[in-house]
Amino acid sequence: MLRQSGILLHISSLPGPDGIGSLGKEAYAFADFLHEANMGIWQVLPMGPTGYGESPYQSTSIFAGNPMLISIDKLAENGWLDLSDAERYVPENPELVDFPPVQKHKMALLRKAFAASERKLKKDIQRFADENEWLRDFALFTAIKAHFGGVMWTKWPDKAAQMREEAVLAKYRKKLDKDISFHMWCQYVFAKQWRALKEYCNGLGIQLFGDMPIYVAEDSADTWTQPEVFQLDEDRVPRRIAGVPPDYFSADGQLWGNPLYRWSFLKSKGYGWWVRRMKHMGDMYDIIRVDHFIGFANYYSVAHGAPNARNGRWVIGPGKELFITLNKKLPGLNVVAEDLGAVNDRVRDLIAFTGYPGMKVLSFAFGADDSNIHTPENIPVNTAYYTGTHDNVTALSRVKNCTKEELKSAKEITGFKTLEEAPWAFVKTVYGSKARIAMAAMQDILGLDDWATMNRPGTTGGNWLWRMKDGAASPALARKLKKLNKDCQRQMEVEEPEAEEKERKETVL
């Protein structure tokens, strides 16, 4: 059995110019770092255009890429931009993303590159649109939304545009033609840069591990174009919304606000919507993390307008039938099921049925309970084991804020003596575990404190900001991780070149 290891680091968290990580040379440098460290997996967060609070889990499209992650330098290399020092945005703090000025700066540069290349790329973009049926509607949605000042589509002042009356859409297609073309251009460029990075990573033996939110944002092209898929009323407002009940993160539960699915309708259509979505994910990533997998077994439903998630109800989900369809239509999907939270027998039964590895988190392992499912001795082999996820504080922050009992347990489980030793002890414990897949957040590998936490569930603002310091992924750190992988028997399997394989066989004969 191949024992894999990897690092969780979103593209936006890479160092580099323009105030946010991109698909440029820093991404390739990080791939080289992973290769030198003998890592087989690079995990990223959802790659779509960010929505409310800059959350990648509230994207305006389940298919589109985030234009803010396009490499400006690569556009310049293509001859579409003439960059001067005055045009480059220099952030006050290069280790945090300041979204408003970054977006303003980067969008201006993208517009310049579009103007310089639009005519040359027109046929390629039209071909790309023909191959991606979602693109024209997404571009139209994005252009109309910007035209109305960025307000949610259910609040657009033009009711006919909300309801997608064809005569009105035709009017906006004509009126906003240049903006629509720009948004299509952005998606073409993003896809091209992403494919190039994926091919490079795969050539190094590195799999790209993507993240797919189970739910769709209310303010998205998907709810606008296909309202029948969701539990919406006649005005396209959600009847009931997604969330989770009170838990570890929040006494009021988490009110996510996403519209819930009309599973009976999706079933009547042979789950075609899900087949198309998962095919896109399978084309984009080598491994797919399905966020909140619990929701396929049973989902938490809260009335729209509720002040919190305390009074929701659990509803039976599509269960095995959906995955029978997906397996038939898309055999070989490489999925990890995020099964953290309110796991019951129905959830466990569904995961066992699919055979997907679930997830466990070392940060949840500490305390007096010997049956804790997150401790190294209790996790199954078929598991993706994490030091912490994007929703957890860093390992250093975790141990700093442990109770006395938890701290004692953490030291016993991971073997650290001082707080400064704790992050690396977390990494060693996860990589040394029996889990088939071992994942560490880059913040934990670097031993960073709470300021580098990516997201604090139940909060708005101040999330998704962290960026890795330039030079942090050093050759010395790669060597340290490579040794750890060797000690933990997590080396990548590398195929022998054909010539070497032929020579080896001849020698044996």
Residue whose tokens read 């890429």: 65
Q: Whole-angstrom distance between the N-terminal and C-terminal Cα of the chain? A: 28
CA separation for the pair 94, 91 (Å, rounded) = 6
- Residues carrying an active site annotation: 291, 338, 391
427 phi/psi in degrees, rounded to 5? -60, -45
Predicted confidence at residue 501, as pLDDT, reads 37
pLDDT along the chain (509 residues), means of 10: 94 97 98 97 97 92 98 96 82 96 96 96 97 98 98 96 98 98 98 98 97 96 98 95 84 91 98 98 98 96 94 96 98 96 93 97 92 96 98 97 96 97 98 98 98 90 96 98 97 49 31
CA–CA separation, 142 and 140 (whole Å): 5
CA distance 342 to 329: 29
Confidence (pLDDT) at 498: 45
Return the pLDDT at 187. 98
Q: Say if residue 370 is exposed, middle or buried (CB neighbours under 10 Å; 0-12, 13-18, 19+).
A: exposed
| Cα–Cα distance, 172 to 111 (Å, whole number) | 20
Question: Angle CA(248)–CA(238)–CA(46) in degrees, nearest 5?
Answer: 55
Question: In the prediction, which pLDDT does 50 show?
Answer: 94
The greatest distance separating any two alpha carbons of the chain, rounded to the nearest whole angstrom, comes to 78
- Where do we find the tokens 């303003």? 104
Q: Tell me, what's the pLDDT at 412?
A: 96
What distance in Å separates the CA atoms of residue 14 and residue 31, rounded to the nearest whole number?
Answer: 11
Q: What is the pLDDT of residue 461?
A: 85
- What is the side-by-side strand order in the sheet with 240-244? 254-259, 240-244, 298-303, 313-316
What burial letters (b/e) apply to 294-313, b meaning 16+ CB within 10 Å? Answer: bbbbbbbbbebeeebbeebe
Token pair belonging to 239:
């009847």
The closest of 436, 357, 339, 447 to 400, measured between CA atoms, is 447
